[in-house]
Amino acid sequence: MKINAFLSRFPRRTSWLACALGGAVLASLLRVLQRATAVEGPLDLVVPFAPATVALVCALAIIGAALLILAVTQPINKRPWAKGQAHRWDLVFLDRKDKLYPTLLIAAGFLALAAAPVLFVKGAGQLKLWLDLVGLSSRPSDNGLLALLTAAAALLAFFGLQQMARESFRPGQRGHGGFSASLPAVTGCLWLMEAFRAHASDPVLWDYAPQLLAITVGMLFYLDCAGMTTGAARPRRLLWLAGATIVLSALSAIGCREISDLLLLGTQTLTAAAALWRLPPNLEDPPVVGEPYEPMQEPLQEEESTHE
Amino acid sequence: MDQKHEDRREENPEPLLKKLLAREPSPPAEDAEAGPEEAAGQPGAEARKAATPGRELYSNVRFLATMMATLILVFTFVARIVVISGPSMEDTLHGRDVVLVWTLGYTPKQGDVVVVTQKSFQEDSIIKRVIATGGQTVDIDYDTGTVYVDGEALEENYIKERMLLPGYGEGLNHVTVPEGCCFVMGDNRNNSADSRHPNIGIIDDRCVIGRSMCVLFPVGHIKGL
């Protein structure tokens, strides 16, 4: 295949990171251009079919297709990785020498931790206002409970990401890493509901649709990380979701007014970047744990006689 | 050819999209704690793998999360559920009615009940009826309680009671609606902040979230709009 031959000239990790980060920068620049030239009025209503908007949509489609090509051409070595522990997909996150992956995950965890008090203050303020205005027609429809729940989940995400960083140094028991990887996904679920609720009356789709998409792909990315340890591995889809998370997070960060949203977007961006840093080389050349794998000599089978 | 190249070659013949979406095929020895007969690919291995509690839990969680994300994306791009608060659309809609609103590709039309956002008035959205669209002229005669659109009196069998002069004065009562905008009013004319109100005025079509299709709840109020 020609595209495979072309892509094999570059290290996979470089291709993934270049595509995702380059795509993120391009999408962000086009979003800035769109906000500068393709909106009008105090509400930032989008001018229909403005060139910047069309260019942004086309760029997103092209970036998505490029990530798709990288995903389907990603070489995956399916040989058993250790004697007696054959095919543990979760070990694809393992590399004791690489320090960047755990560093990114720890930083992502601390961003989630920083988002928790911001969300808590926001939710508590909304709840207090809602309680103060009971019975009045001017009472806001948002009671802040979703923000409070998201704050609690952000704390869980912190612990989950620290555990994920720890597991990149030592191979735990198979299936155990799924729990820690699913904690940030729980945060994503609640954050998605909170963001949807917060923008329920916003008529400008561009204000919040990229953010909802970013949260959705981020949540699915975390779930795929959890799936790697529970025997439901889909490494190519995981890589695509990681790339899409980076691009959409950068896009939705432009013009984002909530600090908590920015911190959580930063969390999933760092985690996705860490996955793109670690996974492509490890999928191609899996780490060996324990005794090196030696393929069994299969006995030569005699040719079956044909029955006429 | 080394092992890595052999693996690459094996991957190529599969259709690309199928390869991305399909679950990675697992070798017989999927479970780390599997016995030697499973490692050798005995028939019981697949069944035991499927019954792993962790895998089942993961599948259920993933299904729920995917369903939730799908619903939220549908309720963002295609339709929305809105809960009515306030009396401005009585007797067509009542407080706490749950309404399905269609948003995808909607352009306001005269007579539709629409959900709009006008942040100069309030952060939350409001629900009103479209009286006139771009290019039409609206005249309101408070003496007779009649609304004229392009000189013709509207037959409004949906309003709650005869329209009186609002507390804030005549407001916007004679206007030609600019293109790309609409003029909206509540069915409960004497208790409605709508396009006549100085803080609301003419509504840009892009501020219209969607058209109310039907009342979903309570059961006794279910009807099309």
- For A210-260, give the DSSP string: HHHHHHHHHHHHHHHHHHTTTT---HHHHHHHHHHHHHHHHHHHTT---HH
The last residue of one of the domains, among B46, B77, B108, is B77
Residue A155 structural domain: 96-284
Backbone angles phi, psi at A76, to 5 degrees: -130, 120
Distance CA B79, CA B68 (A): 15
**B204 vs A45, A201, A285: nearest CB:** A45
Average pLDDT for chain A: 86
Based on the domain organization, do B58 and B165 belong to the same domain?
A: no
Asked if residue A159 is part of any domain, the answer here is yes
- Reference B54, options A165, A181, A289, A192; nearest CA is A181
Q: Please list the alpha-helical segments (H only) found in B26-52.
A: 36-39, 44-50
Window 112-171 of B, Cβ < 8 Å to A? 116-117, 119-120, 123-125
Asked if residue A237 is part of any domain, the answer here is yes
Look-up of token digits 């960047």? A100
Q: How many domains does chain B have?
A: 2
Based on the domain organization, do B148 and B166 belong to the same domain?
A: yes
pLDDT digits (tens, 9 = 90+) for A79-133: 655 555 556 777 788 888 889 999 999 999 999 999 999 999 999 999 999 898 8
Asked if residue A223 is part of any domain, the answer here is yes
Based on the domain organization, do B23 and B58 belong to the same domain?
A: yes
Q: Is the pTM of this model over 0.90?
A: no
Asked if residue A246 is part of any domain, the answer here is yes
Window 192-231 of A, Cβ < 8 Å to B? 192-193, 196, 200-205, 208-209, 212-213, 216, 219-220, 223, 226-227, 229-231
Q: Which residues of chain B have pLDDT under 50?
A: 1-13, 24-45, 47-48
Asked if residue A67 is part of any domain, the answer here is no
Distance CA A37, CA A46 (A): 9
The last residue of one of the domains, among B33, B54, B77, is B77
Distance CA A77, CA A82 (A): 13
Q: What was the pLDDT predicted at B9?
A: 38
The last residue of one of the domains, among B58, B77, B96, is B77
Based on the domain organization, do B109 and B216 belong to the same domain?
A: yes
Asked if residue A232 is part of any domain, the answer here is yes
The answer to whether B24 contacts A85, with C-beta atoms less than 8 Å apart, is no
**A201 vs B3, B16, B125: nearest CB:** B125
Based on the domain organization, do B134 and B51 belong to the same domain?
A: no
Of these residues, B128, B192, B195, B212, which one is catalytic? B128
Chain B hits for A77, CB-CB cut-off 8 Å, are 3-4, 7
pLDDT mean over A45-72: 94
Cβ neighbours of residue B35 closer than 8 Å, sequence gap 6 or more:
none
The answer to whether A42 contacts B54, with C-beta atoms less than 8 Å apart, is no
Determine the residue of chain A that is closest to B17 in CA distance.
A72
Residue B207 structural domain: 80-224
Look-up of token digits 């988002």? A115
CB-based contact, B96 to chain A, within 8 Å: no
Question: Residue A254 burial by CB count (10 A; 0-12/13-18/19+): exposed, middle or buried?
Answer: middle
Q: Is the ipTM of this complex over 0.90?
A: no
Based on the domain organization, do B138 and B108 belong to the same domain?
A: yes
Decide: A23 and A63 in contact? Cβ < 8 Å: yes
- Reference B112, options B71, B152, B158, B78; nearest CA is B158
Distance CA A124, CA A118 (A): 10
pLDDT digits (tens, 9 = 90+) for A205-261: 888 999 999 999 999 999 999 888 877 889 999 999 999 999 999 999 998 889 999
Q: How many domains does chain A have?
A: 1
